[in-house]
Structure 1
């Protein structure tokens, strides 16, 4: 089911400051920035590498407001790893498979993710205490 680690989501207070840090320390490049109102974040995707199943990234997420999921995470835990995301070939199928084996799916229907992806989150209590995101990359246009 899993193609690759798509990205690691890192919660931060200051997106521009964290981008500068990652660019300087790890020599990575921002390939996408967007505001995702639905998720309540300002986000940046930093490219790490490409592989057979697609690219791998670091996703930096800054809350738009303190009462968003990422805002509450920062208040409780401070900056750091927020979630891990795995690339899947068929998100709708993956959601059904997770539900069939008793994994609680937070997003019953795929929703908009960064860079045109479709995403769904799994409940952390059902996957070892880690907020887990499944990501389907957009299909290339023919």
Structure 2
């Protein structure tokens, strides 16, 4: 099943941005740094979806470059899938332009990859799957 997992919003400061969401009765439930992306993330649940605040930890990070060029705002839309490997292969077979050809591990252990905006109607699209649990 595919659903909207979260909306990624680039911000200069999570601390400054959180006040608006808290005034709406929403609260950050998870905050962590994703070192390989050079970004600090804060997840805010909204019903069955989430808002992900993205604060760069370096100016040369993807989010840092986004902020320098476009300012704060919507960075990406993330779709949740049940089989990320099959989805990646299907998109490759269709010739979709990808930011990376490999699945990565992000915040909370979620698996993800990005589809380039040129293949997604001008929107940076993240494809993600829940963390793999070993029982």
Calculate the TM-score normalised by the size of structure 2.
0.94
Corresponding position of 2:21: 22
Once the 2 structures are TM-superposed, how far is the Cα of residue 107 of structure 1 from its aligned partner? 2.2
Q: Report the 3-state secondary structure (helix = DSSP H, G, I; strand = E; otherwise coil) of the residue aligned with 1:46.
A: strand
Q: How does 1:1-142 map to 2 (within 5 A)?
A: 3-24=2-23, 26-50=24-48, 56-139=49-132, 142=135
Shift of 1:139: 4.2
Contact 2:33 2:107 in 1 (8 A): no
Structure 2: gaps of 5 or more residues: none
RMSD: 1.3
1:15-54 superposed Cα distances (whole Å, 9 cap, x missing partner): 1111122111x2112121001111110110001113xxxx
Length, aligned pairs only: 135
What stretches of structure 1 of length at least 5 have no aligned partner? Answer: 51-55
Q: So what's the TM-score if we normalise by structure 1?
A: 0.90
